[in-house]
Amino acid sequence: MGSMASGNFRPDRKTTIEACLRLDVHQLVWFGAVQPGARRRGMLHWPANAQRDAAAPIGYLIDMTGPTGWLRLTYGVQHLGDAGIPITPVEVYIALTRTAVHFGGGGRLWFVCPQRNEHERCGQRAQTLYMPLYEGHASFGCTRCHGLVYRSGQSRWPTWRKEWPAIVVEDLDRTEARVLGAVQGLTKRRKQAEREKADQG
């Protein structure tokens, strides 16, 4: 797995939303990564030139089997100019929550911001989380926690799906079921062979 390259310093001016990697909960729903009562895993992949110098994937696992869901992200961080220093592995858990909607459906899904403000977690609901790529902040959070601003002259609302990364989705429960079935089949055949050998002996 590649790494997220984090800059050596934060500029004096505020970081813009357009300069961040974006993680949109609607994308996870759109591609079936979020399924009630199921677990999904896969990869998120931002290509080169998408606000970064090199392409690198982020692994994810989404568990919606409990009363509330959660998302785990795993990736590496390497600071620019520190190529000799090993990549720092990062693992972060992000809670998912729902709010009721007026006209049917299963409710609206949100991320719960995992960033810490002083001694407690932010906990703010957000449709989109952002990752600024400056030193010490190579992690996803809401606009408030990262102090992000919108670039002047740009629309506050990004074009739908324009900034989504490529996504690979795997049904973890089905994968485990296939592996378990293969193991059980192998065990059954082995026991059958042992019985046949014992009968012949």
* SS3 at position 137: coil
Domain span at 57: 3-171
Interior angle at CA 193, CA 188 and CA 195, nearest 5: 95
As a whole number, mean pLDDT of residues 119-144 equals 84
Instruction: Report pTM.
Output: 0.73
What's phi and psi for 145, nearest 5 deg?
A: -65, -35
Residue 142 lies in a domain: yes
- Residue 79, domain member (yes or no): yes
| Tens digit of each residue's pLDDT (9 = 90 or more) over 76-116 | 876 655 556 677 788 999 999 988 876 666 678 999 999 98
Tokens of 50: 């998408």
Domain-embedded: residue 78:
yes
Domain count, the chain: 1
For the chain, the average pLDDT equals 76
**Is position 88 within any domain?**
yes
